[in-house]
Amino acid sequence: MTADETLRFPERRVDGTFPVIDAHGAVIAKVAAAWTGGRFTVTDSAGAPLCAGATSRRWLSGTWQVTDVTGAPLLSMTAKPLRNTATVHLARGGELFVRGSAWRRDFTVVDADGATVLSAAPRTSALSLRQHDYAVHQPGPKRLSVAEVIAVVQVWRMVKKSDAAVLGATATTAATSGA
């Protein structure tokens, strides 16, 4: 990802994976997410591994560990209790913060000084079945590698999907119990 390049993260599977598409329309990576929502793997367009991420077996900790192509730590990301913010610890050093919202689907990643490192905007309507379809932009000089960008976006997407599933189950339970 070059400076000022936008990547698209469609929320539709193509041949069993979610593509990551560059500004020219080329698939640069493919994300395979487990149906349980607790892990994912990323390969480049040729099928070579880029990174992999996993959370605790019950997804309750909110902490994801992401490794690079060699299995070495790439980053860890911990979602806060309301899951509207998260902290990213880069294995190469540094801490970033994800700022989201309970009411909006866009999010930004900022550094310790509050400067935007990454911004993501939804590409679909709020009523879409594909609510986590993002256009992601890294402004100014490149601060994150492609693997780091994909890892942060994919973890955030999985955290938000998990939140939506929990809220849906809670609403269903409340409706069926007469609450």
User: Is pTM, for the whole model, over 0.85?
Assistant: no
Q: What is the pLDDT of residue 34?
A: 86
Total H helices, total E strands in the chain: 1, 12
In the structure encoding, which two tokens stand for residue 74, read together?
């790439």
Sequence letter at residue 48: A
Give a yes or no: residue 179 inside a domain: no
> Among candidates 98, 114, 90, which has minimal Cα distance to 159?
98
Q: Who has greater pLDDT, 81 or 168?
A: 81
Give a yes or no: residue 52 inside a domain: yes
Query: Rounded to an integer, what distance in angstroms lies between the CA atom of residue 84 and that of residue 121?
Result: 15
Q: What is the pLDDT of residue 101?
A: 75
Q: Which residue matches tokens 């698939």?
A: 27
- Could you give the 3-state DSSP secondary structure of residue 134? strand
Per the structure, the count of domains in the chain is 1
Q: Which domain holds residue 59?
A: 6-173
Give a yes or no: residue 1 inside a domain: no
Residue range 87-112, pLDDT digits in tens: 999 999 999 999 987 666 789 999 99
Query: Rounded to an integer, what distance in angstroms lies between the CA atom of residue 123 and that of residue 8?
Result: 9
